[in-house]
Amino acid sequence: MKTLIIHHDDCLNHDPGPRHAERADRLRAVLAAIEGMPETEFLPAPLATLEQVQLAHDPAWWQNLVNLEPEVDRVTLDEDTFLSPGSIKATLRGSGAACFAVDQVFAGKAKNAFCATRPPGHHAEAAVAMGFCLLNHVAIAANHALATQDIQRVAILDFDVHHGNGTQAIFEQKPEVMYISSHQSPLYPGTGHAHETGCGNILNLPLPPRSGSREFRQAWSDSGLPAVRNFEPQLVIISAGFDAHMADPLAQLELTDEDYFWMTREICALADEICHGRVISVLEGGYDLGGLAGAATAHIRALTS
């Protein structure tokens, strides 16, 4: 079976502005780098349904966001987060891709899946768009899996350089979902301290600026991966941000392409042992085009191997 790459050109239409780090060229760089990789199959992302959006988001908040989408120019949601013409469809493709990835992997139609979509999602809370994020794709996908499959436990592993405050907030009182995040601290959004443990289902692995391969691998080997093993998830979802790469301009961690290969192989090997290899991965951050392309390629190489 192959690694499914789920994408849609609608994701290029979200435009937060000419100097914004979260730009359509990010996705173009990823797709150009991974096009034609062996053992991959590319499929279009469907739009998430309203029912799927409501698995993680407040319906009144979402309707308001849909109503705010402009026909020209941009609407400012916060200093980092904007709506442009096409933003709603773009983010619906991201959540739709993640749900479709769950369906395909559980149906045995793919080895695993990577959603090459934007804008990212892990900062979005149930009723807050922030940090470039509108809908929280991994949260929707986790609840979609719990609602549609005969499973009781999902683990979300987040190696984006920023803490996924939205994912943590959505699940901190829901023991069926474990959320584990490594991230630079201090850094935006300011959450993700080790003492934030939810109902015992949250594990934060903050790393000081200038941490590199050694600190990152040690945190996951000593704490993150053993916690996944103990939890025995029936599905693993990756919040795959590549902004901890040494080339990234938004943060000061120093990971290399090989660290992303290592991390992804470790996750897949563990998933092979405990949940039939069921892994779906969703693109989050990554703002240096070359760093992003190289890291994403290493990630896909590990998913396919």
- Residue 153 is a binding residue for Zn ion (CB under 5 A): no
- Residue 243 is a binding residue for Zn ion (CB under 5 A): yes
Cα 147 to Cα 151: distance, rounded to the nearest angstrom = 8
Q: Which residue number has the CB closest to Zn ion?
A: 285
Rounded least distance, CB 115 to Zn ion, Å: 16
Out of 7, 8, 123, 144, pick the active-site residue. Answer: 123
- Residue 162 is a binding residue for Zn ion (CB under 5 A): yes
Q: Cβ closer to Zn ion: 132 or 231?
A: 132
Rounded least distance, CB 284 to Zn ion, Å: 6
Among positions 96, 119, 206, 285, the unique one binding Zn ion when judged by CB under 5 A: 285
Instruction: For the chain, give percent helix, strand, coil, nearest 5.
Output: 40, 20, 40
CB 235 within 8 A of CB 102: yes
Cα 71 to Cα 251: distance, rounded to the nearest angstrom = 33
Among positions 16, 233, 241, 291, the unique one binding Zn ion when judged by CB under 5 A: 241
Among positions 160, 257, 259, 266, the unique one binding Zn ion when judged by CB under 5 A: 160
- Residue 166 is a binding residue for Zn ion (CB under 5 A): no
Q: What is the dihedral of CA 267, 151, 169, 247, to 10 degrees?
A: 20
Kindly give the pairing relationship between strand 75-78 and strand 81-83.
Answer: antiparallel
At residue 164, what is the residue type? G
- 123 flagged as catalytic: yes
Check whether the bond before 233 is cis (ω within 30° of 0): no
Q: Cβ closer to Zn ion: 118 or 162?
A: 162
What are the residues binding Zn ion (CB under 5 A)? 160, 162, 241, 243, 285
Known catalytic residues are 123
